[in-house]
Amino acid sequence: MKAILYATDYSQDSATALRMSYLLAKKFGSKLFVMHVFDVPLSLASPVSVSYMNKEKRLFVENRAKLKEFCTEHLGDAWQEITTNFIVDEDGSIADAILEKATKYNVDLIVAGTKGASRVKEFFLGSTTKALIKKAPCAVLAVPEMYEIGNLKTIAYATDFEQADIFAIRRLIPMAKVFNAQIKIIHVTTTKEYAGEQQMEWFKEMLQDKVDYENLEFDLIFSDEVFKELQGYLDDTNSDMLAMLERKDNTFFEKYIQRDMVKEMVKDITVPLLSFNAVVL
């Protein structure tokens, strides 16, 4: 992992995501891009007027200084121990600005908090984050505010037995290796699903043939309450992170939207959620 982009709105919620970004950057020796997107408030001034341009210039300077202050407040001087770059951008669309910079700097991971003080009130339910998850040219990591940053010992990966899952798990393995973490491959099979056990055995054999990582475990749960079981599994196994694949047509969560309280489950999740975009794997 060569480059990580962390996006913040200066909220306390996003401070935990900053600490996670720093931990990953330090572990991997990555560059860390710390970014904030602002929008010049509407006023009577025209965007081409001198007063507007002066206000925009002042906001760039102020936000760059504020980013450094935010990092110092939550990391002390530790952020200076890694290669840290500060990015300030003005855009009416937070998602577009983040995606543009993620592409420009060829980042491997975008990190953000699950909630925020500005437009991203609910990370998973806001249009900004949906756009990031669906369109990002890299993985996206959402970090809950109350998550206690520590060593990642157990990472759960929710699979649907797809070929793209294998590519996603291969992308996950470098992170697992750096933390010496166990990867638990979990699938919740429902009454409408056919031959869950056989599919798990097939997937297990195929995955072990394709990846070079011994610390893998496979679990199959039978239930129609997918998210309730998944949340319980994370708690029971003391998982430190949940990883999943986002498909082109629908997300892992949206696939089961008629069966479970998706919004409630996402809102209450207590561990970071790592999303891989199937389109760019």
- For the entire predicted model, the pTM comes to 0.87
pLDDT of residue 86: 97
Longest dimension (CA), the chain: 68
DSSP state of 106: T
Beta-strand ranges (E) seen in 43-192 are: 84-90, 109-113, 139-143, 154-158, 182-189
Q: Tell me which of 143, 175, 190 is where a domain ends.
A: 143
Give the range of the structural domain holding residue 110, as residue numbers without chain letter.
Answer: 3-143
Residue 14 in domain: yes
Is the Cβ–Cβ distance between 3 and 30 less than 8 Å?
yes
Q: Both 134 and 183 in a single domain?
A: no
Q: What percent of the chain has pLDDT over 90?
A: 49
Region 162-169 average pLDDT: 91
Q: Both 265 and 216 in a single domain?
A: yes
Q: Both 122 and 162 in a single domain?
A: no
Mean pLDDT of the chain: 83
Question: β-pairing, 273-277 with 216-222?
Answer: unpaired
Q: Both 127 and 210 in a single domain?
A: no
Read off the CATH number of the domain in which 71 is found.
3.40.50.620
pLDDT tens for 34-45 read 999 987 665 545
Q: Which of 185-189, 253-257, 263-267, 272-276 has the lowest mean pLDDT?
A: 263-267
Q: Both 106 and 192 in a single domain?
A: no
Q: Both 118 and 158 in a single domain?
A: no
Q: Both 208 and 110 in a single domain?
A: no
When divided into structural domains, the chain yields a total of: 2
Six token digits for residue 124: 């998973």
pLDDT of residue 253: 53
DSSP assignment of 60-93 equals HHHHHHHHHHHHHHHHTTGGGGS-EEEEEEE-S-
Residue 29 in domain: yes
pLDDT of residue 211: 92
Cβ neighbours around 264 below 10 Å, total? 12
pLDDT of residue 26: 96
Q: Which of 39-48, 51-60, 144-153 has the lowest mean pLDDT?
A: 39-48
pLDDT tens for 272-281 read 889 898 777 6
**pLDDT of 21 over the 90 cut:** yes
Is the Cβ–Cβ distance between 185 and 216 less than 8 Å?
yes
Q: Both 138 and 10 in a single domain?
A: yes
**pLDDT of 229 over the 60 cut:** yes
pLDDT tens for 106-150 read 999 999 887 644 433 333 334 566 677 778 889 999 888 888 888
Q: Both 211 and 173 in a single domain?
A: yes
What angle, 0 to 180 degrees and rounded to 10, lies between the N-to-C axes of helices 13-28 and 50-75?
A: 70
Cα Rg, the chain, nearest whole Å = 20
Q: Which of 19-33, 50-64, 163-177, 184-198 has the lowest mean pLDDT?
A: 50-64
